[in-house]
Amino acid sequence: MSKQEITHLLEEHDVKVTANRLLVAEALSGAGRPLSLTELEEEIGSMDKSSIFRSLMTFRDNHLVHAIEDMEGTRYELCLSHDHDHDEDTHVHFYCEKCHRTFCLENIHIPPVELPGGYDAWTSNYLIKGICPSCSGQSLA
C-alpha cells in the first residue's frame, strides 16, 4: 500500500494520522504476513516497543488490526475491512512449525459459527498448524 492509501485507511478508521502510526501501518502493510511486536521493532528500527505497542492498541481499538494468537504469541496484521460494524476481512492463518512464521490465507475465509443465545462474538481466530511450502521444499500452487 502507498503512504496515501495507508493515510486514507487510518482516517477511514478514525485514527489520527501521526508519524509513528504511519510507520507501524507501513511496516504491517509491507510485511506480507502478520508480525509480532518484536518483529515490528526490528522492521521499523527507529521506534521503541512501547511506542509501537501504543500504536497497535489504538489500531486494535479502532478495528484497524487483527491480533492473531499463534504458538509464539500475538502477531498483528492490518485489517482491510471498510465496515466498522462487520469485519469482512476475516480469514484463516497458517502457522509453520518449522520456521515459526504465521501466514495469511486471505482467500480462505473463516466459516460462520452459530453461537448459542446470550453469546456475543467480537472476533475469531482460525489457525492451522503445519509446514509451509518454503520449509517443505514445495512451491506454491
52 pLDDT more than 90: yes
CATH number assigned to the domain with residue range 3-136, chosen from the 4 options 3.40.50.12170, 1.10.3720.10, 1.10.10.10, 3.10.20.740: 1.10.10.10
80 pLDDT more than 60: yes
In sequence order, the 6+-apart residues with CB closer than 8 A to the CB of 57 are none
Residue bearing the bigger pLDDT, 82 or 72 = 72
Average of pLDDT values for 76-93?
A: 70
- Distance between CA atoms of residues 32 and 83, nearest Å: 22
Average of pLDDT values for 36-41?
A: 94
